[in-house]
Structure 1
Amino acid sequence: MAIKQDYFDTAFELLSEQGYSALKQATLCKRLRVTTGSFYHYFENWHDFTSQLLEHWRTARTTQLVETAQQHGDPIEQLETLLQFALDLPHRAEAAIRVWSKVNPDVRAVQEAVDAQRLEVVLSATRTIFDDEGEALHHARWGLYLLAGYQELDSGEDPAALEWVLRRLIRELEEKSREKSHVSPI
């Protein structure tokens, strides 16, 4: 018998393999080799399932990230943690969720919340590097744009490419951080 987590894991597999249009109750149950009765043991209906799936994704892939990154006092260590996190994301599934969010307002709301949370955690790190709020925000957005663009264009096919571009961003931020720490107050 499948447990609730199995439904979420299998849903992410379907999203990764075939996109959001493949995410159907019958396909999910068939992949898990369970009956629809088993499905209804955990979920009231399909909307309940997709709501819980998206909440699980938001919590597991963003809220926990924020908590982990904030454990580091150094902004560069925070950014390194974020980079490792970004490399481990299920990019094809996230790309499918981004497509899904274009046609479903409930999914769009969760996607926007995830992007906002991710932006905020990067912004928290860049604020300690830049005295200018606008500059900190531009650099934080840069990181999010790299991630979202990678998911849209590569869908996780070349994680080395994502690592390369994110490391370039971190290198620039490290340089700015060193410059800031070497400037003595007058």
Structure 2
Amino acid sequence: MSRVVNKEQYFEYGLGVLAQSGFKGLNIRVLVNGLGVTSGSFYHHFRSWQGYVDALLEFWENRQVVILKEMEFGSGTPDSDIEKLRELTLGLQHGAEAAIRAWGANDESVRTAQRRVDDARRKTVQKAVYGVTGDTENARVITSLGMAMLVGFQQLAAAGHRDDFAAVLEEFVRLVYSRATV
């Protein structure tokens, strides 16, 4: 018996498939079988595979904005913003993000969404780092290091490495505060 699912359930399930199987493992059959729905349900919500991909990427892209808004990022102190970003970063679906990055190497629409996410993250992190350091150039360089650290961790994790990202992220936060203005 088929059940009723909403778009968000398709997106959450799709991100889980990306994390487990990579972008090559994500397709309509996997989605409908995994969710216990008919292909008619899929087409009712998305009309086409590209419609799903576009909606999934929009969901993924907007998720960080929604979470930051819920966390009230930017409304407190620089210290609270750094802590909120640390929490957000630890909670990312790193496997799905690595798969999206790999997918983007093969699909222009995915690559474009990935760039928008990277740009938005860079802007958000740089704002938080600047709040601590008070130095635009330091904030830019430290943010670039943080972005490289995140992407590198995600790629290594996707390749099977099991590093403690919380410890790595804590070192990054220490670096930010080592550049703090008094």
Q: Check whether TM > 0.5.
A: yes
One of 151, 154, 172 as aligned partner of 1:151? 154
Q: In structure 1, what is the equivalent of residue 65 of structure 2?
A: 63
Alignment partner of 1:39 is 2:42: yes
Please, what is the CA RMSD of the aligned residues? Answer: 1.8
Letter in 2 for 1:112: R
Of structures 1 and 2, the larger Rg is shown by 1
Q: In structure 2, what is the equivalent of residue 73 of structure 1?
A: 76
One of 87, 97, 102 as aligned partner of 2:105? 102
**Poorly superposed stretches of 4+, deviation over 4 Å:** none
- Residues 69 and 166 of structure 1: is their aligned pair in 2 closer, same or farther, counting only changes over 3 Å? farther
Moved more, 103-112 or 166-175: 166-175
Q: In structure 2, what is the equivalent of residue 50 of structure 1?
A: 53
Alignment partner of 1:137 is 2:140: yes
Q: Name the SS of the counterpart of 2:5 in structure 1.
A: coil
Q: In structure 2, what is the equivalent of residue 121 of structure 1?
A: 124
**Is the CA contact 2:78–2:132 (under 8 Å) kept in the aligned structure 1?**
yes
Q: Name the SS of the counterpart of 1:118 in structure 2.
A: helix
**Percent identity among equivalent residues?**
31
After superposition, the C-alpha distances for 1:58-92 in whole angstroms (9 at most, x for unaligned) are: 111x2124433634432222111111111111111
Task: Using the TM superposition, give the Cα deviation of residue 131 of structure 1 relative to its aligned residue in structure 2, in angstroms.
Answer: 4.1
TM-score (structure 2 length as normaliser): 0.89
Letter in 2 for 1:52: A
Q: Name the SS of the counterpart of 1:73 in structure 2.
A: coil
Task: Using the TM superposition, give the Cα deviation of residue 129 of structure 1 relative to its aligned residue in structure 2, in angstroms.
Answer: 3.0
Q: Distance in 2 between matches of 1:138 and 1:65?
A: 25
**Is the CA contact 1:15–1:23 (under 8 Å) kept in the aligned structure 2?**
yes
Q: Name the SS of the counterpart of 2:106 in structure 1.
A: coil
Q: Name the SS of the counterpart of 2:179 in structure 1.
A: helix
Q: Distance in 2 between matches of 1:171 and 1:127?
A: 14
One of 21, 25, 28 as aligned partner of 1:22? 25
Q: Name the SS of the counterpart of 1:129 in structure 2.
A: helix
Q: Distance in 2 between matches of 1:16 and 1:65?
A: 20
Letter in 2 for 1:63: V
**Is the CA contact 1:69–1:82 (under 8 Å) kept in the aligned structure 2?**
no
- Residues 82 and 167 of structure 1: is their aligned pair in 2 closer, same or farther, counting only changes over 3 Å? same
Structure 1 unaligned residues grouped into runs of 5+: 182-186
Structure 2 unaligned residues grouped into runs of 5+: none
Q: Distance in 2 between matches of 1:95 and 1:162?
A: 14
